[in-house]
Amino acid sequence: MQGNARGCALAYKMVAERDNEKYSFARESRLLIVAKAKVWASEGWRVVITDQDGKAYAPPEFDQLLAA
């Protein structure tokens, strides 16, 4: 897992893919990563969020991640 500028491991990673493009983001806050993922998914990107335990969440499961 990558660290941020302060050297702390980031808990959530989002990967968005469309056509030949791929972007990834890491955040400590699940609220922020889910909000970003929902926006990207609504714009036609294939989005997956992975938590600190390695569990992957697809768009239909994003609300489960918020409830955790």
Global pTM reads 0.82
Strand-by-strand arrangement of the 21-27 sheet: 21-27, 12-18, 46-50, 56-57
**Closest listed residue to residue 57, CA positions, set 29, 15, 22:** 15
Contact 4, 26 (CB under 8 A): yes
Confidence label for 37 from pLDDT (cuts 50, 70 and 90): very high
Averaged pLDDT, 40-44: 97
Q: What are 17-28's pLDDT values in tens digits?
A: 999 999 999 999
DSSP 59: G
